[in-house]
Structure 1
Amino acid sequence: MSSIPSLLRDRIAATPDAEAYRTPALDGWTSMTWREVGERVRELALGLAALGAGPGTRVSILCSTRLEWVLADLAVLATGAATTTIYPSNTAAESAFVIGDSGSTIVIAENDEQVAKIRSVRDELPGVTRVVVIEGSPGDDGWVVTLDSLGGDGDYDAMVDAITENDLATLIYTSGTTGRPKGVELTHDNWLYVSRAVRELNLISETDLHFLWLPLSHSFGKLLEVVMIEIGVPTAIDGRLDKIADNLGELRPTVMAAAPRIFEKIHNTVAATQQREGGVKLRIFNWARQTGIRVSRARQREAAIPLTTRLEYALADRLVFSKLRARFGGRIRYFISGAAPLSKDVAEFFDGAGLTILEGYGLTESSAGSFLSLPQSVKFGTVGPPLPGTEVRIAEDGEILIGGRGIMRGYHGLPQETAQALEDGWLRTGDIGEIDSAGRLTITDRKKELIKTSGGKYIAPTYLEGRIKAACPYVSHVFVHGDRRNYVTALVTLDMDVVGPWARAESLPADAGSLREHPRMLEEVDKAIKQVNADLAGYSTVKKFAILAEDFSVESGELTPSLKIKRKAVEERHGKVLDAFYDA
């Protein structure tokens, strides 16, 4: 096979009547078989072709994670066109940039709200001939049509057969943490390689149930889409973040992928609840936690677990861990974490509870998946070995270089940037790392984000940030600062969903603006920072901190859509607070 549509066609032929997707309905969930998926994709593809989609064209999708996103994407690809992804949280100006820069001629929008966003910048998009709305109203001028109205005649199989492995499949724009977003060109072969490599690991099978809520606009979500077609795994799709907990209990999935922020929030919620209850329950929880971590660390060392520890763990499992697993439906075989670094402390807590998190690593430029921890050789703090067929080198300065079929074709319309990123076929990741004797990769930090103090010492900020977040359940985000400064400081934001119940129980202010200055709140954060500092060299310890009145967010411009901190944006917005740390 040479393309994603041909992969889908093969999947339909192999298991036509097996469940492909499950999606929310008024009375629960409704399913589609692979045969039904093929029929719907064929219908949509012929309709999009009638609107002008085809080889050499681009179609933008501006939509949250839902079944229609997947169906629309597969239909676009079947015409020979390439999909350009846009986050639904993007502003009208940001959306216009992606649509215009990619040269998209059709935009598929989720609803009337997203259509209005595109209409507001229509004058800047003369190349857009149609907007197709998934859940909304057609326009009087014919510029906006509904997804359900699409249809047409033509030879679907001939369209699919004409697609080659080197044709452009996806144009994904980077988050832009350090500047203007760049369009990453990924071919059909890029995605086919990564999906087959994941299949070779034998981690997932047709008997699993995969729960997908991650943004399909992100390369991680797109990778999961293709992998599930490759393997034939039924996938329940619902991108509503406020429904994750309910969906886990109702669906009882066996596999779920998430960004680290989700695992941090679950960990902090559990820890804060136990702290609030206090007494015997807190003592039992802390004992169980430590027992689970001991067992996890023994497994990582491949060491024998003493009988007494096994007995203690069995009791801890009955009293604490089994109840935690039940929150996730009781069938999770493992989670997969990607898109940002996962705290080792959080990972060991979950593993001790029987909920192993397999951490992966990749860039949009490497089709999202390049490394993945394996259950039989998991070592937290690493992202595992490279996927089969992926090559890795460590440059003299410690930068990780990746080679193989998953590497992008280049940056759209940016030959100079492409040449800088691709050196003799090797992708310069911008990350610093090292490889252990078992071939597992450890990420030290972003090359461009390493802090160099005025004393010449290098510090990895994300490592410190993850440790502090794991040490204090009430913390949402931490921003470590100190580049060209004489010591390290931190900005802290509060997770009001977690800290609110504690504050009310302690008769403390329930709003972040007042709570952040309260001695009890400052004491809790200070205690966590001192705990982390105790294991660090003096030059890398956090000397001062401040709690901010508002959390970082995508809307405020301080987080990327994949929830990574935009360091320059935070420094600019909170420059006065940071400068005050160093006033003599």
Structure 2
Amino acid sequence: MRDGYRSPPVPTASGLSSMADPVFRNAAEHPDAVAFVPSVGAAPIRAAEFAALVTAVAKGLIAVGVRTGDRVALLSATCYEWTVCDYALWSIGAVSVPMYDTASVEQVGWILRDSGAGWCLVGGAAEAGVVETAAGTIDGPPPQLLRLDDGALAALAARAPEVDDEVFGQRRKVPPESVATIIYTSGTTGPAKGVTISHDNFLSNLDGFLHRLDPVFAPGGAIVLFLPLAHIFTRTMQCASVLRRVRITHLSRTAELAAGLAAARPTVLPLVPRFMEKLRDAAPNGDARAVLGGRCGAIVVGGAPHDERIGQFYRSAGIAVYEGYGLTEVAGPATINGPDATRLGTVGQPLPAVSVRIAADGEVLVRGDCVFGGYHRNPAATAGALVDGWLHTGDIGALDDDGFLSITGRKKDLVITAGGKNVDVTTLESRLRAHPLISQAVVVGDRRPFVSCLVTLDRVALRERGHPGGPLDRDPLLRAEIQAAVTAANQAVSRAESIRAFRILDGELTVAGGELTASLKIRRETVASRYRAEIDAMYLPDS
């Protein structure tokens, strides 16, 4: 094993200084290339058309008073309009502040206050209502609202004639070191922190990412984006696809996923582990290719660890699975497996020009041009995260002799039992979630005599089984099946780390309920507090 590795650098994307540059380069060099099919059944949009709309919206933003460096919030489900706004803001040196469309009033209020956003582009009436309520917590004037479902883009484009080409051209000269976006980390505790990412950070990350996955993002390919664009993982997929002229189809609702995949027939698909599992379970006759549209050659996995058995299901159908590891603070992936360098069970080697090393306590440290400059208006958090140029990720990992990184846990996700045993919960939880009946698993046991687990079940799977209703934890057949899953998961750990007791919860863990973050990470303190009685019951003598 080794404690440090740096991948060699690669040539940078020639002539690019801002994240908006690929839009205008594509329009000039490949004007007729299909850039988007905005939704299932929609007419294709070509590179020149996309650039023209971005230009018109950008001029409209200038006309309404958006200045260089101004923060503009985006609160919407994943959609074509979101992407237009993103690039329009970048093209005039404004700073986009994305928010999850599932964010609460409190979360939106905090982001608006902390970022100082003067405008907010929202998807529709529901999001507008959240912003209007949250605006009551802001000192000073509320942000100006523009609704994407109510003709906001057309209204902005209509004002484009008020701004001449010379003014727009000057605004297009965006310094690469300037801030492109502030992304608020969802966080499992405390208020979200605003990660400031420059154009340079983004472009450096994309250089390395596309070098590693060069054949996956071949021009003329297709991708479906349905995960939140507020998350750095989906944003990376968007920007890589635009840069490489991979056709993008947006889906605003995950309920449309099957139809969207069938219609768009992606060649590459970004997925988080939970959707890998859902699509596997929905595959007709276990046909992975059919459920992904018939021609998908690669899945890029991010967001959380996935069970290798799920990856093998897709690989057995000839679909490559490239797992990576990234953070908002590095503008996307820091490491990833690729066609020329893959090692199962790892999250790949560092991107070109990125260095990774392992601290004495096992924490993963990252350094490179993709690493962010600091948290917005939070010097204390910045000082804690960036030390001598190294980003302290909070994740625990190991590097093998060839520089492949394995993530073994998270410093704050370690359970320390009453006997002093440090237990990494991620291995157990990812194995349990691989079971088709289990939707979430939360391992607990901090300062307790042994490890236990709370489990929630997939409602669709329950209905398909014709479950009669009633308390799930009292159903002997369900308990027997979950016990078998627990027994299988325990095979991955020592006896001292194994799950000795579990409870099946009748409800679900949700974003709206506060148990999950917007990026579907578990808020462990919330779960522990809300289900204190169920956890205590597992440690009673007769349980």
TM > 0.5 fold call: yes
Instruction: Answer yes or no: is 1:373 the counterpart of 2:330.
Output: no
- Give the residue type in structure 2 aligned to 1:495: D
Query: Match for residue 189 of structure 1?
Result: 200
- Give the residue type in structure 1 aligned to 2:31: P
DSSP-derived class of the 2:453 partner: strand
2:181 to 147, 170, 174: 170
Query: Match for residue 357 of structure 1?
Result: 321
Query: Match for residue 483 of structure 1?
Result: 446
The structure with higher relative contact order (CA 8 Å, sep 6+) is 2
CA contact (8 A) 2:335 2:347 kept: yes
DSSP-derived class of the 1:199 partner: helix
In 1, the alpha carbon distance for the partners of 2:61 and 2:81 equals 14
Q: How does 1:490-529 map to 2 (within 5 A)?
A: 490-502=453-465, 504=466, 508-509=467-468, 511=469, 513-529=470-486
Pair 1:228–1:127, CA change in 2 (3 A): farther
1:222 to 210, 235, 239: 235
1:420 to 359, 378, 384: 384
- Give the residue type in structure 2 aligned to 1:459: V
CA contact (8 A) 2:60 2:157 kept: no
CA contact (8 A) 2:34 2:44 kept: yes
CA contact (8 A) 2:451 2:497 kept: yes
Pair 1:156–1:210, CA change in 2 (3 A): farther
- Give the residue type in structure 2 aligned to 1:184: V
Instruction: Answer yes or no: is 1:578 the counterpart of 2:535.
Output: yes
Query: Match for residue 9 of structure 1?
Result: 24
In 1, the alpha carbon distance for the partners of 2:415 and 2:495 equals 15
Query: Match for residue 339 of structure 1?
Result: 303
In 2, the alpha carbon distance for the partners of 1:227 and 1:169 equals 16
Query: Match for residue 325 of structure 1?
Result: 289
CA contact (8 A) 2:184 2:195 kept: yes
In 2, the alpha carbon distance for the partners of 1:44 and 1:561 equals 28
Q: Which is worse superposed, 123-132 or 379-388?
A: 123-132
- Give the residue type in structure 2 aligned to 1:114: E
Shift of 1:535: 4.4
Structure 1, gaps ≥5 residues long: 139-143, 274-319
CA contact (8 A) 2:428 2:492 kept: no
- Give the residue type in structure 1 aligned to 2:185: T
Query: Match for residue 108 of structure 1?
Result: 121
Pair 1:9–1:29, CA change in 2 (3 A): same
In 2, the alpha carbon distance for the partners of 1:10 and 1:251 equals 25
Q: How does 1:252-331 map to 2 (within 5 A)?
A: 252-269=265-282, 323-331=287-295
Instruction: Answer yes or no: is 1:558 the counterpart of 2:522.
Output: no
CA contact (8 A) 2:183 2:328 kept: yes
CA contact (8 A) 2:189 2:525 kept: yes
Q: How does 1:26-41 map to 2 (within 5 A)?
A: 28-41=41-54
CA contact (8 A) 2:336 2:349 kept: yes
1:407 to 358, 366, 371: 371
In 1, the alpha carbon distance for the partners of 2:49 and 2:25 equals 14
Query: Match for residue 9 of structure 2?
Result: none
Query: Match for residue 291 of structure 1?
Result: none
Instruction: Answer yes or no: is 1:133 the counterpart of 2:147.
Output: yes
In 2, the alpha carbon distance for the partners of 1:159 and 1:80 equals 10
Q: Which is worse superposed, 112-121 or 155-164?
A: 155-164
In 2, the alpha carbon distance for the partners of 1:482 and 1:268 equals 31
Query: Match for residue 37 of structure 2?
Result: 22
Instruction: Answer yes or no: is 1:392 the counterpart of 2:356.
Output: yes
In 1, the alpha carbon distance for the partners of 2:143 and 2:413 equals 41
Shift of 1:269: 4.7
In 1, the alpha carbon distance for the partners of 2:483 and 2:104 equals 37
2:506 to 549, 558, 571: 549
CA contact (8 A) 1:191 1:226 kept: no
Pair 1:560–1:390, CA change in 2 (3 A): same
Query: Match for residue 490 of structure 2?
Result: 533
Q: Which is worse superposed, 5-14 or 366-375?
A: 5-14
1:206 to 219, 235, 252: 219
Shift of 1:150: 4.6
Q: Which is worse superposed, 210-219 or 406-415?
A: 210-219
Deviations 1:27-74 (A, max 9, x none): x12211111111101111111111221212100011110000000111
In 2, the alpha carbon distance for the partners of 1:382 and 1:239 equals 31
CA contact (8 A) 2:472 2:504 kept: no
Pair 1:129–1:567, CA change in 2 (3 A): closer
In 1, the alpha carbon distance for the partners of 2:208 and 2:492 equals 38
CA contact (8 A) 1:398 1:433 kept: yes
Shift of 1:402: 0.4
CA contact (8 A) 2:365 2:393 kept: yes
In 2, the alpha carbon distance for the partners of 1:14 and 1:122 equals 44
Deviations 1:340-382 (A, max 9, x none): 1111221222222323321111100111211111134433321
Query: Match for residue 240 of structure 1?
Result: 253
User: Structure 2-normalised TM-score?
Assistant: 0.92
In 2, the alpha carbon distance for the partners of 1:160 and 1:340 equals 38
Q: Which is worse superposed, 449-458 or 180-189?
A: 449-458
Pair 1:137–1:326, CA change in 2 (3 A): closer
Q: Which is worse superposed, 28-37 or 157-166?
A: 157-166
Query: Match for residue 294 of structure 1?
Result: none
CA contact (8 A) 2:56 2:157 kept: no
CA contact (8 A) 2:280 2:288 kept: no
DSSP-derived class of the 1:222 partner: helix
Query: Match for residue 311 of structure 1?
Result: none
Deviations 1:446-486 (A, max 9, x none): 1111111111111110110111222x321111001111111
- Give the residue type in structure 2 aligned to 1:16: P
Deviations 1:202-239 (A, max 9, x none): 13110211111121111112112221222121111123
- Give the residue type in structure 2 aligned to 1:369: P
DSSP-derived class of the 1:120 partner: helix
In 2, the alpha carbon distance for the partners of 1:45 and 1:188 equals 17
- Give the residue type in structure 1 aligned to 2:373: R
CA RMSD, 1 decimal:
1.9
Deviations 1:313-346 (A, max 9, x none): xxxxxxx66x331221210111111011111221
In 2, the alpha carbon distance for the partners of 1:156 and 1:383 equals 45
Structure 2, gaps ≥5 residues long: 1-15
In 2, the alpha carbon distance for the partners of 1:11 and 1:424 equals 39
CA contact (8 A) 2:68 2:171 kept: no
In 1, the alpha carbon distance for the partners of 2:431 and 2:147 equals 44
DSSP-derived class of the 1:362 partner: strand
- Give the residue type in structure 2 aligned to 1:115: A
Query: Match for residue 305 of structure 1?
Result: none
Instruction: Answer yes or no: is 1:448 the counterpart of 2:412.
Output: yes
In 1, the alpha carbon distance for the partners of 2:489 and 2:123 equals 44
In 2, the alpha carbon distance for the partners of 1:83 and 1:383 equals 29
- Residues matched between the structures, number: 521
In 2, the alpha carbon distance for the partners of 1:150 and 1:97 equals 31
In 1, the alpha carbon distance for the partners of 2:122 and 2:128 equals 6
2:101 to 70, 73, 88: 88
Structure having the higher Rg:
1
CA contact (8 A) 1:492 1:547 kept: yes
